[in-house]
A and B are shown apart, each in its own frame.
Chain A
Amino acid sequence: MTVKVITVGEDILGANEEKARANRKRLDTHGVLTINIMSSPGAGKTSLILRTINQMKEKVKIAVIEGDVASSVDAEKVSEMGIPVVQINTEGGCHLDANMVESALNSLPLEDTELLLIENVGNLICPNEFALGEHRRVMISSLPEGDDKPLKYPAMFADSDAVLLNKIDLQPYLDYDVNAFKKLVTGLNPDVIILSVSCKTGEGMEAWFSWLESEVKNKKDR
């Protein structure tokens, strides 16, 4: 038998990319600005989402997709605020992918949504490699994690549109060099927006809300 070499030259995650493009097209049709929120576990993704809903729900029609390995505690909190939410349980999986998001979109009132917040599974590695169809990537890094995280997880910092430095209220208690952190992040990603915030005290949150509102507005005007 002769061996034949077939040149492929294709991205292994090409199928996911294709599905993500289809999701984005569908979201564009309905004018839904979609944000993929990524961080390590416990950095404050759910707190950010709840604060954002609280602040913006009278002005902007919001929907949420919650990605978690197990449980629906986060989705229940969102639902209590009267916001349409789909919980995806990955049952051990470490990231959301475009296919899961497609199923979730089928259960959301897209025609009546302006802003879709997707909470990815808490993890700083895998979620970055799987596009979901989002328009913007927002990463949360929190003070207790340490200021060296951009060195250890460079890809996620390099690909984010905005980085929120959360739990800034803890600064007096921790040896955390905010300027060193910002320098590392800007080094990887010169166009990134870095906002120091506290989802607990509300410090710095106005800048986040106004960034988000202007993104929603830009999406509508387009």
Chain B
Amino acid sequence: MPITRHCSIIKVVTKMHEYSITESILSMALEKAAEAKASKITRINLVIGKLSGVVSECVQFYFDFLSKDTIASSAGLSFESTPTKLRCRNCEAVFSPVNHDWSCPHCHEIGIEIVSGRECYMESIEVE
């Protein structure tokens, strides 16, 4: 039986994680500001969990670059970092892990649910 070959190559230029996140932040903020017919975005309030893997310094760096020539160019970014909170599946205690030790400090069992720390959302924007 002849082998049919089917192989296409798509090249996509993306940058690191925070770059795409920053693009999403900017477009979301611009969209909300346009809906409100605002002329300037002065602040963007973000909630980023410790477990989300998002580095806020990186977001700020890309934002300064990407927001040039938009109504968000002088907007300040504020990051509220939510701590990692875990709930023990055994004794139901809620705790924040220390030094990546995810075992329960109360009953010492391993087995948790992530209660918070994975947040990555825009709480609000401030506009003029």
Contacts and interface: CB of A to CB of B under 8 A. Distances in A.
Interface string A53-93: 00000000000000000001001101111111111111111
A129 interface: yes
A14 B124 contact: no
B96 to A, nearest CB: 14
A12 B17 contact: no
Contacts of A47: none
A171 interface: no
A52 interface: no
Given A4-B126, A154-B102, A91 B13 contact: yes
Given A8-B32, A183-B110, A190-B89, A155 B10 contact: no
28 contacts: A4-B36, A4-B128, A6-B127, A8-B32, A8-B122, A9-B121, A10-B121, A11-B120, A12-B25, A78-B7, A79-B5, A80-B5, A87-B9, A89-B9, A89-B11, A90-B14, A91-B14, A93-B13, A100-B10, A125-B17, A125-B53, A126-B17, A126-B53, A129-B120, A155-B114, A184-B102, A187-B102, A187-B109
B128 to A, nearest CB: 4
A1 B17 contact: no
A204 B58 CA distance: 42
A6 B36 contact: yes
Interface in B38-54: 38, 40, 42, 46, 51-53
User: Interface extent on A, as a size class?
Assistant: 35 or more
B98 interface: no
Name which of B3, B7, B114 has the most chain A CB atoms within 10 A of its CB.
B7
Given A6-B124, A6-B127, A82-B3, A158 B114 contact: yes
User: Interface extent on B, as a size class?
Assistant: 35 or more
B93 interface: no
Contacts of A88: 10-12
Nearest to B119: A11
Nearest to A86: B8
Contacts of A83: 6
Nearest to B9: A87
Given A16-B24, A125-B53, A6 B10 contact: no
A151 B102 contact: yes
Nearest to B7: A79
Contacts, number: 164
Given A12-B24, A12-B122, A3 B128 contact: yes
Given A6-B125, A10-B28, 8 more contacts: A7-B124, A75-B7, A80-B3, A84-B6, A89-B9, A90-B12, A92-B14, A104-B10
B12 A89 contact: yes
Contacts of A129: 17, 52-53, 120
A190 B101 CA distance: 18
B115 to A, nearest CB: 12
Contacts of A72: 7, 9
Nearest to A121: B14
A109 B10 CA distance: 16
B37 to A, nearest CB: 10
A13 B20 CA distance: 9
Given A3-B127, A126-B17, A86 B9 contact: yes
B28 A154 contact: no
